[in-house]
């Protein structure tokens, strides 16, 4: 700590004359004895501390049960979401099968349906149907 003080404000006088380490040390000792405002004692303040209360057995059981219930709700939510996705894929597959069937019956209607769905050919529809069948398992 004293080395940093030597290098800062106490190292030279206001006229630029260099001081010796002894002079600086004497001045610091004098400031410490006088409690001069330019010297501040490092103060350590310890606030009162107590360890956190350990939860009781009933609180631990309650938290464990809540966690179990949340896990169950999450499982139910994910199962519902999976079922909805499966139904959507099934309806998309049925829709594409209907569009594919139009190719043999009414080709103009087939082309307009392909354009509205973003397909350019019967092969693209077949590829999309294959992907849906793979997703459905």
Residue 72 scores a pLDDT above 80: yes
pLDDT digits (tens, 9 = 90+) for 95-114: 999 888 888 888 888 888 88
Q: What is the pLDDT of residue 137?
A: 82
In angstroms, rounded to a whole number, what is the distance separating the alpha carbons of residues 24 and 111? 96
**Predicted confidence band at 54 (pLDDT cuts at 50, 70, 90)?**
confident
Helix or strand (DSSP H, E) at 93: helix 57-105
């Amino acid at each position: 700590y004293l080395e940093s003080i030597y290098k800062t404000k106490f190292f030279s006088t206001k006229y630029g004359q260099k001081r010796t380490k002894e002079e600086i040390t004497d001045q610091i000792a004098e400031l410490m004895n006088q409690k001069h405002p330019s010297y501040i004692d490092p103060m350590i303040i310890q606030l009162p501390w107590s360890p956190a209360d350990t939860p009781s057995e009933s609180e631990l059981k309650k938290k464990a049960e809540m966690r179990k219930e949340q896990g169950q709700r999450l499982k139910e939510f994910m199962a519902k979401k999976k079922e909805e996705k499966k139904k959507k894929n099934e309806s998309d597959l049925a829709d594409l099968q209907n569009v594919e069937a139009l190719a043999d019956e009414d080709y103009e209607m087939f082309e307009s349906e392909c354009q509205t769905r973003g397909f350019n050919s019967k092969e693209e529809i077949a590829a999309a149907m294959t992907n849906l069948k793979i997703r459905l398992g």
